[in-house]
Structure 1
């Protein structure tokens, strides 16, 4: 796994061994950022369920002003710190080693993020409580692009009831990215 573009281009990133995280492949990450790219320069980026930090680091490398990484697994947090240090992007990143909903509450009251990305463990439906929280949060406004990576069969029919509209959906062999705005 590597950084695809920007300041840290071609640098290899560490991942934690085992099955606790599921890194986004370079091919899918490249497709995601081809879609995401107009939003990235100068943005405030929130990477939820960060894993190795690859998505937030890619955003920083491509010109995001600031990225917050949220990950509760201590091994993954060590990996994120090492990846930020190796890519020399530490100054632009903040790591919160806690549960995602706890982290969102701790960030409440700050400026809204421009981009929020979440890649929760598949088939555990952890994205729904996060989207429910963000629907009434100051962390996301009508300009915030929220991207959810989830299993291909995950149902998102409830998002309109929460006040979101589907901007786009991109499907791959086993998963998909759903792009939402308030």
Structure 2
């Protein structure tokens, strides 16, 4: 099988029943993506595929051949942390750090959804030309990522600082999360 991971093309001989999470961790050594519940409930395994977030534990790797897969290891560029990674450090958006890779990838995916005006289950006006990102909308979009340490305040602050302003630049009157 052939994959594009963090901008690099790699070939892997793996069973077609292998999950994307197991392929990343066990075959390719991308251990930043974490195995939490292995049931799609915690978000620790969240990665980006063509810019959209998915739970890699629920995805068969074979389905994602020749697509752009970004793991937490692929967020930093040219020796510099992604702004969201730096914001997590600045706002203590982690304690043990186990959920952090999934939180980071999910937040980047969330920002992309907002930029593309994709509604969530709590979006009030489905006919609006832009999604209004208030606290309810923000928390709903990140609800698939759990933190057992309870570092949610730092996580919310970090995402708000680094991701939401850029994604919500087009949405006037955004309430702070």
Q: Same fold (TM over 0.5)?
A: no
**TM-score relative to the length of structure 1:** 0.30
**TM-score relative to the length of structure 2:** 0.30
**Relative CO higher for 1 or 2, CA cutoff 8 Å, sep ≥ 6?**
2
Greater radius of gyration (CA): 2
Structure (1/2) with the larger strand percentage? 1
